């Protein structure tokens, strides 16, 4: 049974100040006003609050929350939707956006936080929780609802023409993880820093064990890492690197021993500290994550540096903090190999992203992704795709046959040069290929201005949700720039 939404209380809001002589501000102000209209007229905001409310009431069952608590949750859900959109649109970090929100009447008005008596803005931690306010599937439904409204109710959204969802252009890219270049012995430096910083926090709480200061171990590890990086340009570099690596390995084992003792001490005597159990578990989990991976990182480094043997890509540890990062071979200028996750993007002729998928594991070949993406898009939009365009990586005999059976025009660039030369005689294929080349630009715009390169969200689940919010914000931004419906002067006068 759907939960009923309590009507929002109308607060008195001051008018936005009149700003003269700044065209960039007026463009930004008009953009936020247009996005506000799209959120309201499409019913997107109401649907988001409704679904969040249903999930919240199910979590509270069998206890039924009061009307006051429900109204407060509805206001938080509405604020989460608008704050996420505004933050991603401006490309701000959580802390920077919190400061800008407190200082900008325009953002306060868009996010629904403008009051006459006082203005209460969310903190950095609250904004971070807002980013995880809804699951990825929930945000994906919002994207589909927005696109269907743009196609079926263009006049209601004040669009001059309905969205064209007949054509579909798809491409894949790499979403870089927020990690440094993976080097085997650098993993020991990362482990030393994390463990010794945790030990320092424990020692500050009065739990101490006989050892040198944590900063001493970090300094020694940094000095050895510098020697390791400089050994490559020195004579007899292989023997020198092996000797330095053995010193790094020995120091890492000493650090591991100290960290395990402090970890056990904190787990048993956390009542003697000023921390709560949850605060202590934060430090324990941080140490456990490194201690659990350190033996495997040691085997990997010894195999590659001492034994000079390669390690399979699926067995490599690229980062102690981003286990879902993968080695992606791109064979492109300046990006021969990238480290992150494969992202599939599909767009409409207007540049709206209609389908996407972020892969936690190594992604299959592009040709195996095409039909799944088309079926997922048609199910989300309830619309038949009549033409599909992509580069030659998506071409295969199986795809050609299945697209022919589906009666979908195949504008995928064929792998065969003879077939490509033959198909280029068709004006429709040439037009589709010219439009398909613009998808590369769409991928660049999405990654640089909305998703972030690298994507700073930690953990695949957070990265997946962040990609969904970025798609929703991108589509609102694109629709806000589409030509609007011209007003009828006679109807307006009447």
Residue 347 scores a pLDDT above 90: yes
240, 301: one domain: yes
194, 327: one domain: no
Residue 346 is part of which domain span? 161-178+323-481
Please indicate, yes or no, if residue 2 is contained in any of the structural domains: no
474, 328: one domain: yes
Q: What is the pLDDT of residue 488?
A: 52
Categorize the per-residue pLDDT at 475 as very low, low, confident or very high, splitting at 50, 70 and 90. very high
* Domain end among 315, 336, 366: 315
The tokens 């407190």 sit on which residue?
102
Give percent of the chain with pLDDT exceeding 90.
70
Residue 438 scores a pLDDT above 80: yes
**Of 248, 252, 240, whose CA–CA distance to 196 is shortest?**
252
Q: What is the pLDDT of residue 491?
A: 43
167 close to 69: Cβ distance less than 8 angstroms: no
Q: How many domains does the chain have?
A: 3
CATH number of the domain at 386, please.
Answer: 3.30.420.10
Please indicate, yes or no, if residue 76 is contained in any of the structural domains: yes
Categorize the per-residue pLDDT at 458 as very low, low, confident or very high, splitting at 50, 70 and 90. confident
Q: What is the mean pLDDT of residues 312-328?
A: 85
Q: What is the pLDDT of residue 487?
A: 63
Encode 221-254: b = buried (16+ Cβ within 10 Å), e = exposed.
beebbebbeebeeeeeeeebbeebbeebbebbee
How many angstroms separate the CA atoms of 38 and 473, rounded?
12
How many angstroms separate the CA atoms of 405 and 212, rounded?
72
Please indicate, yes or no, if residue 150 is contained in any of the structural domains: no
Q: What is the mean pLDDT of residues 296-317?
A: 87
Cross-strand pairs, 443 = none
159 close to 42: Cβ distance less than 8 angstroms: no
* Domain end among 285, 315, 345: 315
Please indicate, yes or no, if residue 11 is contained in any of the structural domains: no
Residue 400 scores a pLDDT above 90: yes
Encode 310-345: b = buried (16+ Cβ within 10 Å), e = exposed.
eeeeeebbbbbbbebbbebeeeeeeeeebbbbbbbb
332, 469: one domain: yes
271, 374: one domain: no
How many angstroms separate the CA atoms of 286 and 458, rounded?
13
Q: Which residues contact 87 (CB under 8 A, 6 or more apart)?
A: 94, 97, 127
Q: What is the pLDDT of residue 472?
A: 97
The verdict on whether omega for the bond into residue 454 sits within 30 degrees of 0, i.e. cis, is yes
* Domain end among 288, 315, 342: 315
* Crossing angle between the packed helical segments 237-269 and 277-301, to the nearest 10 degrees: 160
471 close to 143: Cβ distance less than 8 angstroms: yes
Residues 224-236: tens digit of each pLDDT: 999 998 887 777 8
86, 212: one domain: no
242, 377: one domain: no
- The beta strand positions in 306-435, using DSSP E, are 326-332, 335-347, 353-358, 387-390, 409-412
Separation of CA 185 from chain center: 29
Provide the 8-state DSSP code for 131.
T
Residue 165 scores a pLDDT above 80: yes
Q: Which residues contact 78 (CB under 8 A, 6 or more apart)?
A: 8, 45, 48, 49, 112
174, 87: one domain: no
43 close to 149: Cβ distance less than 8 angstroms: yes
Residue 95 scores a pLDDT above 50: yes
Please indicate, yes or no, if residue 432 is contained in any of the structural domains: yes
How many angstroms separate the CA atoms of 155 and 153, rounded?
6
Categorize the per-residue pLDDT at 494 as very low, low, confident or very high, splitting at 50, 70 and 90. very low
Please indicate, yes or no, if residue 337 is contained in any of the structural domains: yes
217 close to 255: Cβ distance less than 8 angstroms: yes
Q: What is the mean pLDDT of residues 212-228?
A: 93
Helices and strands, counts by H and E, the chain: 18, 6
Q: Chain-wide mean pLDDT for the chain?
A: 90
Q: What is the pLDDT of residue 1?
A: 42
Kindly state the tokens that stand for 223: 């000095």
Q: Which residues contact 304 (CB under 8 A, 6 or more apart)?
A: 184, 310, 311
Q: What is the mean pLDDT of residues 66-83?
A: 92
Q: What is the pLDDT of residue 2?
A: 54
How many angstroms separate the CA atoms of 387 and 367, rounded?
16
What are the distances in angstroms from CA 52 to CA 2, 49, 131, 135?
Answer: 11, 5, 13, 10
How many angstroms separate the CA atoms of 477 and 151, rounded?
16
DSSP string for residues in 33-50: HHHHHHHHHTTHHHHHHH
Residue 81 scores a pLDDT above 90: yes
397, 469: one domain: yes
How many angstroms separate the CA atoms of 443 and 344, rounded?
10
359, 410: one domain: yes
265, 310: one domain: yes
- Residue bearing the bigger pLDDT, 87 or 324: 87
Q: Which residues contact 218 (CB under 8 A, 6 or more apart)?
A: 192, 193, 196
- Write the burial class of residue 211 (CB in 10 Å: 0-12 exposed, 13-18 middle, 19+ buried): middle
Q: What is the pLDDT of residue 331?
A: 67
User: SS3 sequence, 73-92?
Assistant: HHHHHHHHHHHHHHHHHHCC
Cross-strand pairs, 167 = 387
How many angstroms separate the CA atoms of 81 and 75, rounded?
10
Categorize the per-residue pLDDT at 10 as very low, low, confident or very high, splitting at 50, 70 and 90. low
Instruction: Give the ranges where 364-446 is alpha helix by DSSP (H).
Output: 370-381, 397-405, 417-423, 427-436, 438-446
Categorize the per-residue pLDDT at 261 as very low, low, confident or very high, splitting at 50, 70 and 90. very high
299, 382: one domain: no
Categorize the per-residue pLDDT at 180 as very low, low, confident or very high, splitting at 50, 70 and 90. confident
């Amino acid at each position: 049974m759907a939960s009923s939404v309590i009507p929002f209380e109308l607060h008195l809001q001051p008018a936005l100040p009149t700003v003269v002589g700044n065209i960039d501000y007026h463009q930004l102000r008009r953009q936020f006003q247009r996005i506000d209209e799209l959120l309201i007229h499409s019913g997107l905001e109401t649907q988001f609050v409704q679904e969040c409310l249903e999930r919240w009431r199910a979590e509270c069952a069998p206890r039924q929350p009061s009307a006051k608590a429900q109204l407060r949750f509805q206001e938080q859900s509405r604020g989460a939707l608008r704050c996420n959109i505004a933050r991603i649109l401006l490309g701000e970090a959580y802390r920077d956006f919190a400061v800008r929100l407190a200082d900008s009447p325009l953002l306060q008005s868009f996010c629904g936080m403008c009051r006459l008596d006082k203005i209460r803005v969310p903190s950095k931690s609250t904004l971070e929780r807002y980013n995880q306010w809804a699951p990825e599937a929930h945000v994906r439904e919002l994207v589909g609802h927005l696109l269907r409204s743009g196609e079926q109710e263009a006049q209601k959204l004040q669009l001059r023409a309905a969205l064209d969802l007949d054509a579909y252009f798809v491409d894949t890219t790499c979403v870089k993880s927020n990690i440094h270049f993976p080097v085997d012995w650098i993993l020991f430096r990362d482990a030393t820093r994390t463990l010794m910083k945790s030990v320092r926090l424990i020692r500050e709480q009065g739990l101490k064990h006989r050892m040198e200061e944590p900063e001493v171990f970090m300094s020694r590890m940094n000095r050895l890492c510098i020697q390791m990086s400089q050994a490559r340009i020195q004579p007899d570099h292989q023997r020198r690197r092996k000797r330095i690596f053995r010193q790094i390995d020995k120091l890492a084992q000493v650090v591991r021993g100290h960290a395990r003792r402090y970890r056990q001490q904190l787990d048993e005597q956390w009542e003697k500290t000023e921390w709560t159990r949850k605060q202590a578990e934060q430090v324990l989990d941080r140490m456990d994550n490194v201690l659990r991976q350190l033996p495997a990182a040691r085997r990997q480094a010894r195999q590659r540096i001492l034994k000079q043997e390669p390690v399979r890509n699926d067995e490599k540890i690229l980062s102690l903090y981003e286990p879902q990062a993968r080695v992606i071979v791109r064979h492109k200028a300046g990006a021969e190999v990238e480290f992150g996750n494969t992202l599939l993007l599909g767009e409409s002729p207007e540049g709206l992203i209609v389908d996407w998928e972020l892969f936690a594991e190594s992604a299959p070949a592009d040709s195996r992704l095409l039909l799944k993406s088309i079926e997922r898009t048609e199910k989300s939009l309830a619309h038949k795709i009549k033409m599909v365009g992509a580069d030659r990586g998506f071409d295969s005999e199986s795809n050609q046959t299945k697209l022919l059976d589906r009666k979908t025009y195949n504008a995928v660039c064929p792998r065969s040069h003879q077939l490509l030369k033959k198909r280029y005689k068709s004006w429709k294929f040439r037009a589709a290929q010219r439009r398909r080349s613009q998808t590369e630009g769409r991928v660049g715009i999405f990654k640089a201005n909305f998703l972030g390169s690298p994507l700073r969200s930690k953990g695949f689940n957070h990265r997946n949700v962040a990609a969904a919010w970025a798609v929703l914000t991108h589509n609102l931004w694109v629709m806000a720039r589409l030509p609007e419906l011209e007003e009828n002067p006679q109807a307006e006068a009447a």
